[in-house]
Structure 1
Amino acid sequence: MNMQHAATPERAHQLAADAATQGLHLIGGELVPGTTPATIRAPWDLSLSVEYQAVGAEAARRAIAAASNAFAADTGDRELRQRVLLAMAERAEAIEEELAMIISFENGKLLRSARMEATAVSMSFRYWAHSAPQNEVLSSDELHVTELQRKPLGVVVAITPFNMPVLMMANKIGAALTTGNTVVAKPSPATPLAALRLARAIADVVPEGWVNIIAGTEDTGPVLSESPEVALVSFTGSVPVGRTIMASAASSLTRVQLELGGNDPAIIGPDADLDTVVPKIFTSAFGSSGQACVAAKRVYAPEGVAGDVTNRLVALARETKIGHPFDPEATAPVLTTRAQYEKIELMLEEAHSAAEVVFEGKRDSARGYYVHPSIVVSARPGASVVDDEQFGPILPVVPYSSTQEVIEMANSTPFGLGATVWSPDQTFLDTVVPRLHAGTVWVNGLGRPSPAVPFGGAKQSGIGREGGRPGLDDMSELVTVTHYTTSETAASSA
């Protein structure tokens, strides 16, 4: 491999700097400069930073207007939308390695994970290109035909988080375009550069106003969620921000699609094979240093094996190496933001008084946000380490004495995003799985994300579904149309 293009910290810094200096925002078919200076620091090496120009409220309004005008002018050409999505897929595929290294620079995730995300972007666009909504006949006889039609909503706002900065944007854009909508997409302020690089790549293959991508300042969010010209706000992120968006959208009764926080239980059955199960739960909890909405965040183990489960998790925690994205020996990444680092420190501090920290990982914020896994037991009722979403590398182990008890404990939080259940006992599975308050349950395995699979949460973990046919329905106006046959026509056909 030519060392000039090797995957190195220096190369990633250079690509991030290029994305920042060329970081133009896609508005109405044009790449426009930002207006507000902002800084992105590598969370794995705080001495590395790049400056870019964000946009403010006025640019957000221009993007909404461009999307609204494009929607009004659209002819409904399905084949054109398919060609555009496929062209976007080709452009995303052509810059996969650049995207991966920029993601690694600003997010901190290990390069192999960033490459998986970058590869999935083009796959998502291709999936949506071939997944147009279909009308369906609900009932018919000689006198009538009743059909459910799926029509586009209008302008869709897509607001995405830092932990999957480009793929989640692609999923939202793809679903919106294939249903006939136009889009204004806003990445997290913590990870804007990969989104701006994608904007530059697709700018000349997307019709004017169909897709607008803006890396905005804090005042752009309210503009996007409050605008009466917006038909749907699709947001992935925290519960507090989701509540704010929902409240803002209420003034215009704008629809919302919210994928919010989770506190996913991992339930180990009495007969589970711990040699197999515990490493998989550990990977779920710590493979992304807890920065995944469906990472395992609570472990429930039978009383008789809870100690063994804890010891096994501690052994794996001791072996974990937190490293920078390009460290071949690293097994888990740094945290992405200082706010998240400080939250984990506070949570660990509280855990010392509300639980027993059987293994406390090292922390170092001098050069970056390095936090090793911690394992907690004996948590008192109400302890935040069990009740709240950590979104970081802390994992509590909670023993249970009966199937009924573990179901009640698993459901005892306001969250309901995902859950895993581990057992060879079908009776145990048939008892537990249907009673869990979660949008997704994985049985004896970890999640396999796909745009074809509906995803979303119960309770405070969200509203609506992304992916698959339910995701298309969220992006569509469902219209029931009944055609009645005239009596003369019916008589002549009888």
Structure 2
Amino acid sequence: MLEGRSAGEYMAGHTSYVRREPIGVVGQVTPWNYPLMMAIWKIAPALAAGNAVVLKPSDTTPVSTLLLAEIASEFFPAGVFNVVCGDRDTGRSLVAHPTPQLVSITGSTRAGKEVAAAAAPDLKRTHLELGGKAPVVIFDDADLAAAAEAIAVGGYFNAGQDCTAATRVLAGPGVYDDFVAALVEQARETKTGLPDDEDVLYGPLNNANQLARVTGFVDRLPDHAALGIGGSRVGDRGFFYAPTVVSGVRQQDEIIQDEVFGPVITVQRFTDEEEAVRWANGVEYGLSASVWTKDHGRAMRMTRRLDFGCVWVNTHIPFVSEMPHGGFKHSGHGKDLSVYSLEDYTRIKHVMHNWG
């Protein structure tokens, strides 16, 4: 039992109680952006709840997961934690196999939809942690220096390859111009490159396809958008992309509606709180958001109205293992971290005894 609900006599002569049991075999698929951490997020609650795991890491970043499995094999019984390498077809085979009773994926919304469809014929449970398009709502009374610094870290960390990245800024009318200028200056001082340079904040994009994706978003910017800085590849080797700031964008622009997954920050100017809420919620994703204001009442209103699974106030991107991580809408369902993840990896059985 994960909490203290007691057994009870709800019918004369009978005692009822609830058992939380392991689901059985769980199939899991992890992404390339945090390969080792995502493997831990997946296997820890599944194994702690008593399940066996078959995990497929990304085909571009499998080595750390294989090393984890090799080390774990010294401690876990054989067959408890299994790693299968391969591409998308391998993932599809894992999901479609009749043995797993739950399939869990961290990845793109496209991949999540495919997993849900493949799981449907066997009515398997799904745990989907998918893409994000986090709004960062900056009100006129916010601490601009703190917000700009947090966005520079939260937007460029891991080259923006994070579904909670602070890459969609909505700024109030009184601070918009100053904030765009601050973000441009932050980008000018931010460096990408090889890890042997101590001044480098973030490294390359994961692969050639991801570089082409990020480049395409910037290359297709509409005429009304303004490229403040960046917007180009860095060097002619590897997949490094410059820190980029784009302003003047509108709500229906592709770069606002779709996940870029790169070091590209957009800035929109909103007129009032109502418009800020409407624009923040006006995407298909619902993973995370942040609000920056000194007004406690406004912060409470915004956190209630924002349609996102995690909302930060005057900060962006920190997580603690004791609290849940997961989103709404096209960002999927189910929770990683915290006791809620343990609930996701168990099933509920009602047991009733006739003692009359």
TM-score, scaled to structure 2: 0.95
Matching residue within 348, 351, 354 for 1:478: 348
CA distance in 1, matches of 2:235, 2:127: 35
How much has 1:384 moved relative to structure 2?
Answer: 1.2
Corresponding letter in the other structure for 1:196: L
Corresponding letter in the other structure for 1:212: N
Contact 1:156 1:231 in 2 (8 A): yes
Give the secondary-structure state (helix, strand or coil) at the position aligned to 2:20: strand
Deviations 1:102-133 (A, max 9, x none): xxxxxxxxxxxxxxxxxxxxxxxxxxxxxx84
Structure 2 residue 135 is the aligned partner of structure 1 residue 268: no
Contact 2:129 2:331 in 1 (8 A): yes
Corresponding letter in the other structure for 1:440: C
Contact 1:187 1:195 in 2 (8 A): yes
Bigger relative contact order, structure 1 or 2 (CA pairs below 8 A, ≥6 apart): 2
Matching residue within 201, 210, 214 for 2:84: 214
Structure 2 residue 6 is the aligned partner of structure 1 residue 137: yes
Structure 2 residue 56 is the aligned partner of structure 1 residue 178: no
Give the secondary-structure state (helix, strand or coil) at the position aligned to 1:480: strand
Matching residue within 407, 420, 439 for 2:309: 439
Give the secondary-structure state (helix, strand or coil) at the position aligned to 1:176: helix
Aligned to 1:69: none
How much has 1:157 moved relative to structure 2?
Answer: 0.9
Aligned to 1:369: 239
Moved more, 282-291 or 412-421: 282-291
Aligned to 1:158: 28
How much has 1:352 moved relative to structure 2?
Answer: 4.7
Residues 407 and 138 of structure 1, relative CA distance in 2, 3 Å threshold: farther
Aligned to 1:289: 159
Q: Which entry has the higher C-alpha Rg, 1 or 2?
A: 1
Aligned to 1:205: 75
CA distance in 2, matches of 1:133, 1:366: 53
CA RMSD, Structure 1 to Structure 2 (Å): 1.8
Contact 2:16 2:350 in 1 (8 A): yes
Matching residue within 161, 170, 176 for 1:306: 176
Deviations 1:404-443 (A, max 9, x none): 1100000000000000111110111122110001011111
Superposition pairs of residues 424-463 of structure 1, within 5 angstroms = 424-463=294-333
Give the secondary-structure state (helix, strand or coil) at the position aligned to 1:327: coil
Corresponding letter in the other structure for 2:99: E
Give the secondary-structure state (helix, strand or coil) at the position aligned to 2:252: coil
Corresponding letter in the other structure for 1:468: S
CA distance in 2, matches of 1:270, 1:483: 62
Residues 381 and 293 of structure 1, relative CA distance in 2, 3 Å threshold: closer
Give the secondary-structure state (helix, strand or coil) at the position aligned to 1:266: strand
CA distance in 2, matches of 1:196, 1:161: 14
Residues 179 and 173 of structure 1, relative CA distance in 2, 3 Å threshold: same
Matching residue within 397, 406, 421 for 2:291: 421
Aligned to 2:100: 230
Contact 2:166 2:316 in 1 (8 A): no
Give the secondary-structure state (helix, strand or coil) at the position aligned to 1:156: strand
Residues 447 and 380 of structure 1, relative CA distance in 2, 3 Å threshold: closer
Aligned to 1:193: 63
How much has 1:218 moved relative to structure 2?
Answer: 3.3
How much has 1:297 moved relative to structure 2?
Answer: 2.1
Residues 197 and 399 of structure 1, relative CA distance in 2, 3 Å threshold: same
Give the secondary-structure state (helix, strand or coil) at the position aligned to 1:296: coil
Segments of structure 1 that go 5 or more residues without pairing to the other structure are: 1-131, 487-494
How much has 1:395 moved relative to structure 2?
Answer: 0.9
How much has 1:231 moved relative to structure 2?
Answer: 0.7
CA distance in 2, matches of 1:429, 1:485: 54
CA distance in 2, matches of 1:157, 1:374: 37
Corresponding letter in the other structure for 2:240: Y
How much has 1:358 moved relative to structure 2?
Answer: 1.9
CA distance in 2, matches of 1:140, 1:455: 36
Residues 218 and 430 of structure 1, relative CA distance in 2, 3 Å threshold: closer
Contact 1:135 1:147 in 2 (8 A): no
CA distance in 2, matches of 1:460, 1:138: 38
How much has 1:325 moved relative to structure 2?
Answer: 2.3
Give the secondary-structure state (helix, strand or coil) at the position aligned to 1:292: coil
Give the secondary-structure state (helix, strand or coil) at the position aligned to 1:219: helix
Give the secondary-structure state (helix, strand or coil) at the position aligned to 1:358: strand
Superposition pairs of residues 320-469 of structure 1, within 5 angstroms = 320-353=190-223, 355-364=225-234, 366-469=236-339
Corresponding letter in the other structure for 2:174: G
CA distance in 1, matches of 2:10, 2:26: 37
Aligned to 1:98: none
How much has 1:235 moved relative to structure 2?
Answer: 0.3
Residues 404 and 325 of structure 1, relative CA distance in 2, 3 Å threshold: same
Give the secondary-structure state (helix, strand or coil) at the position aligned to 2:220: helix
Contact 2:218 2:231 in 1 (8 A): no
Corresponding letter in the other structure for 1:445: T
Higher helix share: 1
Segments of structure 2 that go 5 or more residues without pairing to the other structure are: none
TM-score, scaled to structure 1: 0.69
Q: How many residues align?
A: 355
Residues 309 and 139 of structure 1, relative CA distance in 2, 3 Å threshold: farther
Deviations 1:18-76 (A, max 9, x none): xxxxxxxxxxxxxxxxxxxxxxxxxxxxxxxxxxxxxxxxxxxxxxxxxxxxxxxxxxx
CA distance in 1, matches of 2:7, 2:335: 22
How much has 1:138 moved relative to structure 2?
Answer: 6.5
CA distance in 2, matches of 1:190, 1:354: 37
CA distance in 2, matches of 1:266, 1:446: 8
Contact 2:139 2:172 in 1 (8 A): yes
